[in-house]
Amino acid sequence: MEKEKEKERRESRFVIPASEVEEQSLSSLVSSFESLARTPISNFRVAAVGLGASGRVFVGVNVEFPGLPFHHTIHAEQFLLANMFLHAETALRSFAVSAAPCGHCRQFLQELRCAPDVRILITSDPEPTFTPLSHFLARHFGPHHLLPHTEPLLLEPRHNALALALNPNPNPNPSSLALEALEAANRSHAPYSACPSGVAVLDSKGGVFKGSYIESAAYNPSLGPVQAALVGFICGGGGDYSEIVEAVLVEKDDALIKQDHSARLLLHSLSPHCLFHTFLATSTQ
């Protein structure tokens, strides 16, 4: 019970319960959350505060990793959607953000079925006002160009029907952490490659944080499973990345795109002594 209360207390900085905030108040919250950004390279802090269909408010911030290529960076809007994904929010209605979303994030937001109608307010504008995403990316490319209308999109329920395969040595037997990573892989939004994956990390205090690979129709804006797990770690009150002591990746054995090398690079850069295991999974369908 005490652990659950502590978890809720730590997460309260990144998730605000329904009825406490209305859309008109989102802009006033942005500056107060910018300090949560982790920007040791640019020192340019961005916060995005979004209103979900449930009435809950979610926070996203930008995160940078020194010593690694920029494509490992987590943008504030990506963090926002990953945070909503982790907390089973079903739709994004509107959000306020410190600066205009970059093209990368405007594309990432297209993974939402409601994307054209998502309302955005840029607090740094001279006269901030909510404007539909369709205004920022008028001739957009997205899921409707590649997927059938019935395909679940980002934030919609999905189960990829994966099961752990019989892994040869040196992989250990499946642990509870591997099962958490499998659950994350089964929720992964990867309709373009059909290569879902998930990561679960364990910190030195016994906390478990997981993240699912989130794919973009444009490929490059996709959010890796380690980055998604780090969103969970940060939202859960994680401090220095060296607190992460173990991590498990689950991905398909016949995947056309592999996360293993990139995941190892990122985690070992952040926490050199972190134990890392990859488990392969097969489709049960």
Q: Is 183 part of the annotated catalytic residue set?
A: no
The answer to whether the annotation marks 167 as part of a ligand binding site is no
How far are the Cα atoms of 34, 113, 140 from residue 151, in angstroms, in the given order? 35, 10, 19
Cβ neighbours for 277, distance < 8 A, ≥ 6 positions apart: 171, 172, 178, 246, 247, 248, 249
75 labelled ligand-binding: yes
64 is in an annotated binding site: yes
Q: Is 102 annotated as a binding residue?
A: yes
274 annotated to bind ligand:
no
Angle 221-17-33 from CA coordinates, rounded to 5°: 55
Helix, strand, coil % in the chain, rounded to nearest 5: 35, 20, 45
Sequence-distant (≥ 6) Cβ neighbours of residue 98 within 8 angstroms: 30, 31, 34, 45, 46, 47, 48, 76, 122, 123, 124
Q: Is 8 annotated as a binding residue?
A: no
Catalytic residue among 2, 4, 11, 77: 77
- Per-residue tokens: 77: 């809007």
> The tokens 């919609």 sit on which residue?
156
Query: What are the residue numbers of the active site?
Result: 77
User: Which residues define the annotated binding site?
Assistant: 62-64, 75, 102, 105
Q: Residues forming the annotated binding site for substrate?
A: 62-64
Binding-site members for Zn(2+) are 75, 102, 105
